[in-house]
Amino acid sequence: MKRPIIITGFMGSGKTKVASELARRMNLVTVDLDNWIAEREGRSAAQIIVEDGEPAFRAIESNALRDVLQTNAVDIIALGGGAWIEETNRQLIDQYGCTTVWLDAPFEMCWARIETSAEERPLGKTREQSLALYERRRPIYSLAGIHIEILDDNLDDLISRILRTGLQD
Ligand code: S3P
């Protein structure tokens, strides 16, 4: 059974980019959970949240996470920002013995990316809403096994720091 690496963190912390760069460097297979959901559902995470509500999205997200883990074919999974917050998902991740990495980016960095991104984020519509969510979620992100503080936009440095933790040792 594979023990995938899980990348978590707030919206705009760079999860997708980091997962794909790590996969490239380590020659591993990566999946972005929101993309997986969008392909299967024919709608983006944002669309599902807007049309069906957040609880419906969370149910789809948990099923998707279970399915990705069950394929036993994926080495690195970039979660959506809320997936790690759900206890059932954390338990599932634990059952698979995954290595979990929290990309701890400062709020202002996340917000700048959220604000300028073309991607719709219904749970991060305003600065106030995003900041409240960021503060509320921090203690839960901190339950991840590996804590990577993001200092700037230097992806190379970030990847080197993640690799130096040993990850799958
Ligand atoms: C969410 C984050 C989004 C996406 C959805 C909900 C969240 O993913 O899953 O809009 O609850 O933080 P990103 O973290 O990739 O933006």
HEC profile of 60-71: HHHHHHHHHHHH
Per DSSP, the chain holds a count of helices (H) and strands (E) of 8, 5
Ligand 1 atom 2: residue of nearest CA: 81
Q: Is 121 in the pocket of ligand 1 (CB under 6 A)?
A: yes
> How does DSSP assign 44-112, residue by residue?
-HHHHHHHH-HHHHHHHHHHHHHHHHHHT--SEEEPPTTGGGSHHHHHHHHHTT-EEEEEE--HHHHHH
By most ligand atoms within 8 Å of CB, the mutation choice from 6, 8, 10, 11 for ligand 1 is 11
Q: Could you tell me the pLDDT band of residue 134, with boundaries at 50, 70 and 90? A: very high
For residue 2, what pLDDT is reported? 81
d(CA 31, CA 165): 21
**In this structure, which residue's CA is closest to atom 11 in ligand 1?**
82
Q: Is the CB of 34 under 6 A from ligand 1?
A: yes
- Give which of 99, 114, 73, 71 is closest to 8, Cα–Cα: 99
Long-range pairs, 151-156, Cβ under 8 A, ≥24: 155/14, 155/17, 155/18, 155/21
What was the pLDDT predicted at 1? 76
Mean per-residue pLDDT, 88-100: 97
- Each residue's pLDDT tens digit, 38-90: 999 999 999 999 999 999 999 999 999 999 999 999 999 999 999 999 999 99
Query: Residue 168's pLDDT is what?
Result: 63
Is residue 58 within 6 Å of ligand 1 at its C-beta?
no
Closest CA to 15 of 79, 83, 110: 79
Report the C-alpha dihedral over residues 142, 145, 148, 149, rounded to 10 degrees: 20
Cα(149) to centroid(ligand 1), Å: 19
Q: How far is the CA of 164 from the centre of ligand 1 (A)?
A: 27
Q: Which atom of ligand 1 is nearest to the CA of 119?
A: 16
